[in-house]
Structure 1
Amino acid sequence: MSLIEITDVRKSYGTNEVLKGINLNVEPGEVIAIIGKSGSGKSTLLRCINGLETITDGSISVAGAQLLDDEVHLKALRLKVGMIFQQFNLFPHLTAGGNVMLSQTVVKKTPKAEAEATARRMLERVGLGHRFDAYPDELSGGQQQRVAIARALAMQPTALLCDEITSALDPELVAEVLAVVRELAAEGMTLLMVTHEMKFARDVCSRVVFMHQGRVHEAGRPEDVFANPQTAELRQFLGVS
C-alpha cells in the first residue's frame, strides 16, 4: 500500500480551478521533488495533503486513512504528516528548544521532561544541539529553518512535506538546510518537496513531478525527467531546447 494516495484531486477558489485532477501515489521512503512555475499548484497540493486546504473533489489517504474534513481526523493526519514552510514560523518569545517542545506538549500532551529530551535529540540531529537556549533572533535564517525541521521531526511523522524551504534563505545558507534534508532522505524519511533546487532534485530525489497549470504534466526518475523532457512546457521550464 502506498503511504500517500492522491486520486483525482481538484481544488478551486471560486471559479478558479487550481488543481485539475491530480493523481499521485507516494511510497514509503520515497523522496519526491515537485517542480514547476509559480502558480502551477505545487504549494496548494502540499497544503491539501496536510489538510490545510479542503479539496473540492477527489480523495487523499495517508497510511490507509482517508483525509476527512473534521478536527479529529485532521489532528490525526497532522501527527502523521509534518510540514515545513518557506517562512520559519518560530515563536520569537520561545527559545529554539521551546519551539521544538511546544507542539509535543500542546498537541501530543507529552510530559515536559520527555518533550525536552526529544527536543534536545532533534536539535542535535539537525546540528543545533548547542543552540537549545537561543532565541530565534539570535539565529541565522538557516539555523531557524533547521529549528523548524527539528520541530516537525519531534512529532515523529511518517512523511514530511517541504514547501520551498530554502527560498527565503540567503544563498550561502541554503546548503546547510539541504544537508539536513539529504541526511533525512538517507535515513529513509518519506519526503515531498516543492523546490527550485534542481541539482538537489537530480542528486537526492527518487522521483521528480513537474506540475503545469494545475496538472501533473510529467513525472519520472530524475535522470529521465532532466535528461529527456517529453513536453515543450518542461523543456522551457528547464531552459533546454
Structure 2
Amino acid sequence: MSLIEITDVRKSFGANEVLKGIDLNVEPGEVIAIIGKSGSGKSTLLRCINGLETINSGSIQVAGAQLAPDELHLKALRLKVGMIFQSFNLFPHKTAGQNVMLSQMVVKKTPKPEAEAMARKMLERVGLAHKFDAYPDELSGGQQQRVAIARALAMQPMALLCDEVTSALDPELVQEVLAVVKELAAEGMTLLMVTHEMRFARDVCSRVVFMHMGRVHEIGPPAEVFGAPKTPELRQFLGAQH
C-alpha cells in the first residue's frame, strides 16, 4: 500500500483553480522531487497533503487514513507528516533545543525530560548537538533550517514534506542543508520535496514530478525526466534552468 495516496485532488482559491486533478502515490522510502515554474501548484499541493489547505474535491490518504477536514483528523495527520518551509519559523525567544522540544510537548504531550532527550538526539542528527542552547539569531540561516528539520524529525513523522527548504539561504549554505536531507533519504525517510535544486533532484530522488499549470505534467525516474523530457513544456523549463 502507498504511504500517501493523492487522487484527483482539486483546489481553488476563489475563481482560480490551482490544482486541477492531481493523482500521485508515494511509496514508503521514496524521495520525490516536485519541480515546475512558480504558480504551477507545487507548494499548494504540499500544503494540502499536510492539511494546511483544505481540498475542494478528490481525496488524500496518508498511511491508509483518509484526510478529513475536521481538527482531530488534521492533528493526527500532522503527526504523521512533517513539514519544513522556506522560512525557518523558529521562535526567536527560544533556544534551538526549546524550539525542537516545544511541538513534542504541546502536540504530543511528551514529558519534558523525554522531549529534551529527543531534541538533543535530533539536533545531533542534523549536526547541531553543540547548538542546543543557542538562540536563532546566533545561528546562520543554514543552521536555523537544520534546527527546523530537527524539530520536524522530533515528531517522528512517517514522511517529510520540504517546501523549497534552501531557497531562502545564501548559496554557500545550501549544501549543508541538502547534505542533511540526503542523509535522511539514505536512512529511508519518505520525502516529498518542492525544489529548484536540479542536480540534487537528479542525484538523490527516486522520482521527479514536473507540475505545470496545476497538473502533474510529467513524472518518472530522474534519468527519464531530465534526460528525455517528453513535452515541450518540460524541455522549456529545463532549458531555462541553466
TM-score (norm 1): 0.99
Identity of aligned residues (%): 86
> CA–CA distance in 1 between the matches of 2:129 and 2:42?
33
The residue aligned with 2:223 is: 223
Gaps of 5+ in 1: none
Q: Which residue of 2 aligns with 1:191?
A: 191
Matched residues in 1 for 2:168 and 2:8: separation? 32
Deviation readout 1:46-94 (Å, 9 max, x if unpaired): 0000000000010000000000001100000000000000000000000
2:16 matches 1:16: yes
> Deviation above 4 Å: which 4+ runs of structure 1?
none
Q: Counterpart in 2 of 1:116?
A: 116
Q: AA paired with 1:222?
A: P
AA aligned opposite 2:128: L
Cα-to-partner distance string for 1:181-216 (whole Å, 9 max, x where unaligned): 000000000000000000000000000000000000
2:169 aligns with 169
Give aligned pairs, total: 240
Aligned residue number for residue 128 of structure 1: 128
CA distance in 1, matches of 2:101, 2:151: 7
Separation (CA, whole Å) in 2 of partners of 1:187 and 1:117: 21
Residue identity opposite 1:2 in structure 2: S
Partners of 2:14 and 2:120 in 1: how far apart?
45
Aligned residues: CA RMSD = 0.5
Offset at residue 14 of structure 1 (A): 1.1
Deviations 1:71-128 (A, max 9, x none): 1000000000000000000000000000000000000000000000000000000000
Equivalent-residue separation in structure 1 for 2:100 and 2:75 (angstroms): 18
Which consecutive unaligned segments of at least 5 residues does structure 2 have? none
Q: Structure 2: how far apart are the matches of 1:207 and 1:236? A: 20
**How many angstroms apart in 1 are the aligned matches of 2:164 and 2:28?**
21
**Cα separation, 2, equivalents of 1:133 and 1:15:** 47
- Aligned mates of 1:61, 1:162 — CA distance in 2: 18
- Partners of 2:207 and 2:12 in 1: CA distance: 27
> Aligned equivalents of 2:49 and 2:211: distance in 1?
16
Structure 2 residue 94 is the aligned partner of structure 1 residue 94: yes
Q: What's the counterpart of residue 106 of structure 1?
A: 106
Q: CA offsets, 1:11-60, max 9 Å, x none?
A: 00111000000000000000000000000000000000000000001000
Q: Map residues 44-83 of structure 1 onto 2, 5 A cutoff.
A: 44-83=44-83
